[in-house]
């Protein structure tokens, strides 16, 4: 991964930054809802070196090979990030600049191939990234990691970060994200409901699967939490067993636990162990289970009783740290 790490250093030292990408794509900010929808199909307004970088790594397009070699050195080809063919140069995946991180993910045509694709980061991943406390911890577990969009930020504060995904292809994506971003994290392939072999963790994060098939991209059935009353309950049961004293869970989730409310489902999972929680919701959507709210669910173990249910009114643009807004809902300082 040495070549990949050097490519990341070069990109992070160039103009390949979130604000520049937003300007090139004609959106107000490369954050929040700007990462939802068919953003890779937007016109690339940048030119020169930055234009080639965005065309290859953000839009997944093709550029003349000579232009690619002006924008990247040979390490990008040795690392398997770029490849040439008779029609020019293309990227083998996308590299998305999220704050100071570079996240490797699939090209759009691969990302939506049912269960085989590595899901792209979207506004839910960004919300969970922003909610992570900027405070040191020993061990962090990120569930459903995909390419590591949440785990890579967690890795900047944790001594050890495990990124778990049921998709075996996620491991390679996590390795690439770690190398591009200059951090350490360890990918693990497995099910979020089977955690006993991984030990205890001080923080656990999970963007629950909320995605549905997008018209024109896939007809494959994609699992969503709105179709399974047991998913949230099963994960809570597994996570509580591995949560260290005083540990923190941060999930992006829909408030669907079957016939139970979120507090009831959490209380059942903790089995008498004390906890304090908050559901900081920001979206109401129509699903097969009816209108469901989506948002950040934060749970602090061993913190005494307490529950808050409030709408998220933190600023979306220009704010990369939501913990000072979320922490008071848990009775903590931001």
Average pLDDT over residues 218-238: 69
What local confidence, expressed as pLDDT, does residue 145 receive? 95
Distance of alpha carbon 103 from alpha carbon 261, whole angstroms: 35
Q: What percent of the chain has pLDDT over 70?
A: 93
What local confidence, expressed as pLDDT, does residue 186 receive? 97
Answer whether residue 193 shows pLDDT above 50: yes
Instruction: Tell me the per-residue pLDDT of 251-300, one tens digit each, with 9 for 90 and over.
Output: 999 888 877 899 999 999 999 999 999 999 998 877 676 788 899 999 99
Q: Which of 150, 107, 101, 110 is nearest to 127 (CA)?
A: 150
Q: Give, rounded to a whole angstrom, the gap between the first and last alpha carbons of the chain.
A: 36
Mean pLDDT of the chain: 91
* CATH number for the domain running over 115-330: 3.40.50.150
Helices (H) and strands (E) in the chain, counts: 12, 13
Answer whether residue 214 shows pLDDT above 50: no
Highest mean pLDDT among 170-179, 229-238, 314-323: 170-179
CB of 187 closer than 8 Å to CB of 145:
yes
Q: Give the residue range(s) of CATH 3.40.50.150 domains in the chain.
A: 115-330
Answer whether residue 223 shows pLDDT above 60: no
What local confidence, expressed as pLDDT, does residue 219 receive? 47
Residue with tokens 């600049």: 97
Which residues fall within 8 angstroms of residue 124, CB to CB, at 6 or more apart? Answer: 207, 210, 252, 294
What local confidence, expressed as pLDDT, does residue 218 receive? 45
Cβ atoms within 10 Å, residue 219: 9
Q: Rounded to whole angstroms, what are the CA distances from 196 to 75, 168, 172, 190, 303?
A: 40, 19, 23, 11, 23
Q: How confident is the model at residue 229 (pLDDT cuts 50, 70, 90)?
A: low
CB of 115 closer than 8 Å to CB of 71:
no
Q: How confident is the model at residue 217 (pLDDT cuts 50, 70, 90)?
A: very low
Distance of alpha carbon 85 from alpha carbon 162, whole angstroms: 36
Q: Rounded to whole angstroms, what are the CA distances from 198 to 145, 241, 302?
A: 15, 11, 21
Pairing of strands 94-98, 88-91: unpaired
Q: Rounded to whole angstroms, what are the CA distances from 171 to 22, 178, 187, 273, 297?
A: 28, 11, 5, 34, 26
């Amino acid at each position: 991964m040495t070549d990949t790490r050097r490519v990341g250093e070069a990109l992070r030292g160039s103009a390949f930054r979130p604000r520049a990408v937003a300007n090139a794509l004609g959106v107000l900010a490369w954050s929040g809802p700007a990462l939802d929808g068919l953003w890779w199909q937007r016109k690339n307004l940048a030119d020169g070196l930055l234009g080639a970088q965005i065309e290859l790594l953000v839009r997944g397009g093709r550029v003349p090979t000579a232009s690619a070699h002006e924008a990247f050195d040979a390490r990008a080809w040795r690392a398997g990030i770029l490849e040439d063919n008779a029609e020019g140069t293309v990227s083998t995946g996308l590299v998305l600049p999220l704050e100071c991180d570079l996240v490797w993910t699939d090209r759009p045509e691969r990302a939506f191939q049912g269960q085989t694709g590595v899901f792209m980061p979207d506004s839910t991943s960004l919300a969970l990234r922003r909610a992570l406390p900027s405070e040191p911890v020993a061990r962090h577990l990120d569930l459903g990691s995909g390419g590591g969009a949440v785990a890579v930020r967690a890795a900047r504060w944790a001594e050890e970060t495990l990124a778990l995904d049921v998709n075996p292809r996620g491991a390679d994506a996590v390795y690439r994200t770690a190398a591009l971003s200059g951090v350490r994290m360890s990918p693990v392939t497995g099910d979020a409901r089977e955690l006993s072999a991984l030990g205890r963790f001080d923080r656990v994060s999970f963007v629950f699967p909320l995605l549905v098939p997008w018209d024109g991209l896939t007809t494959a059935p994609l699992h969503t939490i709105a179709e399974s009353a047991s998913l949230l309950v099963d994960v809570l049961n597994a996570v509580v067993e591995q949560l260290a004293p005083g540990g923190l869970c941060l999930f992006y989730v829909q408030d669907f636990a079957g016939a139970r409310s979120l507090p009831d489902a959490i209380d059942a999972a903790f089995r008498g162990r004390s906890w304090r929680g908050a559901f900081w919701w920001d979206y109401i959507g129509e699903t097969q289970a009816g209108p469901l709210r989506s948002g950040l669910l934060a749970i602090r173990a061993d913190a005494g009783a307490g529950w808050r249910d409030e709408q998220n009114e933190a600023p979306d643009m220009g704010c990369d740290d939501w913990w000072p807004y979320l922490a008071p809902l848990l009775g903590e300082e931001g």
